[in-house]
């Protein structure tokens, strides 16, 4: 854990999180803050090493930063929202916390994933330590319910999935992932499962738990039934009739065969499959998004058969999805006019760079966890071997560019904390696969 030690943030003498990066050769910008999503692999690594104090402190201070005020001002966060990040500032010799709910983010998008990761991490802390007292505190019970109230609220939608804007999760720039992106739906599923375990079964929580159980059933069915893509499903979509009307129809979302991208017809292996990146009215995003698919395996959202087919896909398309560094955050990249229109000519998200087909070492632990969950040990060793060839030599870079991830990203920070933490997590999981129980659930 010494590699992470230099990144630890202290508040009033107590460890409370980690800096996003410690690159001495680049401006800090917001990398000197602690991001909730970035801290997750560090927190899990600490828990696996029996160092739970920093995680407990983190959970307490982020809960204290949770928004509680009614959203009277459209430019302020609504109740239940967790900040994207926080930093420690000093004034007149006193320390205080400053939270960012997206006010300073690219395009001012609030982070939907922060509150979901917070619940998942609280459950992991509870399982690792056996400490039920923290989650049973009144303020924690209320914090969980505030998040659920926000996520389970009625909206202008008739789907069990969560409707969110572009840039509301790990891919925090415009990439055409608005509506119902896979990553948010998988985190939503895991947060609901975790909340059901954490909430006390008393009169105060009775209605909330009923809502959780109801949504879990419909959400699980929806994602497995409509997001799943394999060759059999692709043939069904290819033969869909458009503009079907009524309750009992095959093409519920009015997907046209012409929307199937040409690359997918040859790229999809006969014994492979994955969950689509997005699904909405008249729209299916056929891109492969790594984090959502890998977390679907780890959390048991994907069935055993689907999980095996996902790993089959990764193995058979290793060069495309892994290349020189595990692994691509999405595949394929947007190029040409499509890149211009969908990203708004985003110079950071050029084809095969950053979120647009770049390789992210922080995905290593997700890949190792998914491979262990499916008992595909050969994938674990292969992924770690590739990462170890130059991840340390490259000073723990944030991301890599190019179709095979051979170049350190042009704007990538060195000494990226979640790159280091993900590598340590992957090694720990390889040595102690039972540690995966902090994140996994029994299949229902």
What average pLDDT does this structure show over 160-168? 94
DSSP code, position 318: H
- Does residue 332 have a cis peptide bond before it, meaning omega lies within 30 degrees of 0? yes
Specify the residue for token string 């828990």: 47
Phi, psi of 210 (to 5 degrees): -65, -45
Rg (CA), the chain: 21
Tens of pLDDT, residues 357-416: 999 999 999 999 999 999 999 999 999 999 999 999 999 999 999 999 999 999 999 999
Confidence band for 218, pLDDT divided at 50, 70 and 90: very high
Does 444 fall in a domain? no
Q: Would you say residue 76 lies in a domain?
A: yes
Which CATH number belongs to the domain containing residue 39 in this structure?
1.50.10.10
Tell me how many domains the chain contains.
1
> Is residue 443 in a domain?
no
**How big is the CA angle at 191 (ends 185 and 194), to the nearest 5 degrees?**
145
Residues of the domain holding 107: 2-438
Q: Could you tell me if residue 84 is inside a domain?
A: yes
387/241: higher pLDDT: 387
Average pLDDT for 308-313 = 98
Q: What is the pLDDT at residue 246?
A: 83
- pLDDT, tens digit, 9 for 90 and up, residues 61-89: 999 999 987 765 666 778 899 999 999 99
Whether the per-residue pLDDT at 439 is higher than 90: the answer is yes
> Residue 8: beta bridge partners?
18
What are the beta bridge partners of residue 280?
283
Alpha-helical runs (H) found in 49-110 = 53-65
Asked if the structure places residue 224 within a domain, the reply is yes
> Which has the closest alpha carbon to 410: 45, 13, 26?
26
Residue 268 lies in a domain: yes
The answer to whether position 109 is within a domain reads yes
Cα dist from 398 to 89, 177, 360, 381, 433, whole Å: 25, 22, 7, 22, 26
């390889």: which residue's tokens? 430
Between CA 336 and CA 201 the distance in angstroms is 54
Return the H-helix or E-strand segment holding 41.
helix 36-48
* Token pair in block for residue 281: 């009215």
Closest CA relative to residue 365, chosen from 292, 416, 435, 421 = 421
Residue 82 located in a structural domain: yes
E strand map for 21-109 = 34-35, 85-91, 94-100
pLDDT of residue 74: 65
What is the tally of helices (H) and strands (E) in the chain?
17, 13
pLDDT band per the 50, 70, 90 thresholds, residue 5: confident
Burial of 193 (0-12, 13-18, 19+ CB in 10 A): buried
Could you give the CA distance from residue 427 to residue 75 in angstroms, rounded to a whole number? 43
Q: What is the average pLDDT across 230-235?
A: 97
């Amino acid at each position: 854990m010494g590699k992470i030690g230099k990144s630890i943030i202290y508040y009033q003498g107590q460890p409370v999180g980690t800096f996003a990066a410690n690159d001495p050769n680049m401006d800090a910008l917001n990398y000197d803050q602690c991001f909730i999503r970035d801290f997750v692999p560090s927190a899990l690594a600490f828990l696996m090493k029996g160092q739970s104090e920093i995680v407990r402190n983190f959970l307490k201070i982020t809960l204290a930063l949770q928004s509680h005020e009614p959203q009277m001002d459209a430019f302020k966060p609504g109740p239940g929202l967790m900040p994207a990040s926080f930093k420690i500032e000093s004034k007149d010799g006193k320390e205080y916390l400053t939270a960012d709910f997206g006010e300073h983010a690219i395009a001012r998008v609030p982070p939907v994933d922060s509150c979901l990761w917070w619940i998942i991490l609280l459950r992991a802390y509870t399982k690792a330590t056996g400490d039920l007292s923290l989650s049973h505190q009144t303020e924690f019970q209320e914090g969980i319910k505030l998040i659920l109230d926000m996520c389970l609220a009625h909206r202008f939608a008739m789907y069990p999935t969560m409707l969110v804007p572009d840039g509301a999760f790990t891919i925090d720039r415009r990439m055409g992932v608005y509506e119902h992106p896979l990553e948010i739906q998988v985190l939503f599923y895991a947060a609901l499962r975790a909340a059901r375990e954490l909430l006390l079964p008393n009169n105060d929580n009775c209605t909330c738990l009923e809502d959780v159980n109801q949504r879990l059933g419909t959400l699980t069915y929806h994602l497995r039934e409509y997001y799943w893509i394999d060759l059999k499903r692709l043939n069904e979509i290819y033969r869909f009739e458009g503009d079907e009307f009524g309750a009992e129809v095959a093409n519920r979302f009015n997907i046209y065969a012409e929307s199937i991208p040409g690359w997918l017809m040859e790229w999809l292996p006969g014994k492979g499959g994955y969950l689509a990146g997005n699904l909405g009215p008249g729209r299916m995003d056929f891109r492969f998004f790594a984090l959502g698919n890998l977390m679907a395996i780890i959390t048991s959202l994907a069935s055993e058969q689907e999980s095996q087919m996902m790993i089959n896909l990764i193995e058979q398309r290793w060069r495309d999805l892994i290349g020189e560094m595990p692994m691509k955050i999405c595949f394929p990249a947007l190029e040409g006019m499509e890149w211009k229109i969908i990203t708004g000519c985003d110079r950071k998200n050029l084809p095969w760079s950053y979120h647009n087909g770049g390789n992210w070492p922080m995905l290593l632990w997700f890949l190792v966890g998914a491979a262990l969950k499916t008992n595909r040990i050969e994938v674990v060793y292969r992924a770690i071997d590739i990462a170890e060839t130059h991840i340390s030599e490259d000073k723990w870079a944030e991301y890599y560019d190019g179709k095979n991830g051979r170049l350190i990203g042009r704007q990538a920070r060195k000494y990226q904390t979640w790159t280091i933490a993900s590598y340590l997590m992957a090694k720990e999981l390889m040595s102690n696969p039972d540690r995966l129980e902090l994140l996994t659930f029994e299949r229902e």
